[in-house]
Amino acid sequence: EVQLVESGGGLVQPGRSLRLSCAASGFTFHGYAMHWVRQTPGKGLEWVSSINWNNGNIDYADSVKGRFTISRDDAKNSLYLQMDSLRPEDTALYYCAKDIGGIATVGNYFDYWGQGTLVTVSS
Amino acid sequence: DIQMTQSPSSLSASVGDRVTITCRASQSITSFLNWYQQKPGKAPILLIYAASNLQSGVPSRFSGRGSGTDFTLTISSLQPEDFATYYCQQSYSSPLYTFGQGTKLEIK
């Protein structure tokens, strides 16, 4: 059974940093691209970042580019999101999601999602 | 960026009803359109991929159609467990994915 379990969320002040983790199990982690998607009541679902199976391709939404860093440790079956210079508008529930393929390419989609970890940016 | 617009934003229906939700893209996305279901407090679940392909394990009362800019998700006979929020997602401009704003399906 595929499982994705996010952790690391919490309350943080604007300008500070937070690192999210996603522990994967039930599939061959190193063979798949992975994504972070966030959800807010106001803006709905927003794709944040993607990383391909071999770390060869990494992409970010414009809203987080230069502040967030996605990475993966295939030996630990884990995905990470380092979030720096956090802003109140980064407040959201952050999901990790599995791609159907090794590369986040045209036509692909997310076949499994975790339950999410809540990030609140507030003073 | 490709914008995705769903209609209606909310919908009230009864068990047994046939329901259709529409998703429109701001430009042609060919058939690269996916549908997800989300229940309160739960993660989204993939229902339909590539406009009309049913994900494994999803009941056959769900179906998807469309191409280009206009797409629909139809539930042929609503069941109690189908009351949820539904999102469309385009993967034409992968990895710059965008989602619709969601359609909340409520019990009448």
- What percent of chain A has pLDDT above 70? 100
- Report whether pLDDT(A103) > 90: no
Instruction: Sort out which chain B residues have CB atoms less than 8 A from A110's CB and list them.
Output: 34, 36, 44, 46, 89
User: Residue B31's closest chain A neighbor by CA?
Assistant: A107
User: Residue A5's closest chain B neighbor by CA?
Assistant: B43
DSSP state of A37: E
pLDDT for residue A59: 93
Interface test with A, best of B28, B33, B97 (most A CBs within 10 A): B97
Quick check: B45 contacting A, CB < 8 Å?
Answer: yes
Instruction: Sort out which chain A residues have CB atoms less than 8 A from B44's CB and list them.
Output: 45, 95, 110, 113
| C-alpha pair distances (Å), A109 with each of B5, B20, B45, B66, B95 | 18, 22, 11, 17, 10
CB contact under 8 A, A107 and B98: no
Given pLDDT bands bounded at 50, 70 and 90, which one contains residue B10? very high
* Dihedral (CA of A91, A95, A100, A101) sign: positive
Distance CA A53, CA A31 (A): 5
- The minimum CA-CA distance between B62 and chain A, rounded to whole Å, is 17
The mean predicted confidence, pLDDT, of chain B is 96
DSSP state of B55: P
pLDDT for residue A105: 83
Matching residue, tokens 């934003």? B9
Q: For residue A77, what are the contacts with CB-CB under 8 A and spacing of at least 6?
A: A23, A24, A25, A29
pLDDT tens digits, residue range A2-61? 999 999 999 999 999 999 999 999 999 999 999 999 999 777 899 999 999 887 789 999
pLDDT for residue A107: 80
Distance CA B100, CA B2 (A): 10
CB contact under 8 A, B99 and A45: yes
Distance CA A54, CA B85 (A): 34
- The minimum CA-CA distance between B31 and chain A, rounded to whole Å, is 8
DSSP state of A114: -
Instruction: Sort out which chain B residues have CB atoms less than 8 A from A61's CB and list them.
Output: 96
pLDDT tens digits, residue range B63-101? 999 999 999 999 999 999 999 999 999 999 988 999 999
CB contact under 8 A, A35 and B95: yes
More confident call, A2 vs A106: A2
CB contact under 8 A, A35 and B50: no
pLDDT for residue B64: 98
Amino acid at position B105, single letter = L
pLDDT for residue A119: 98
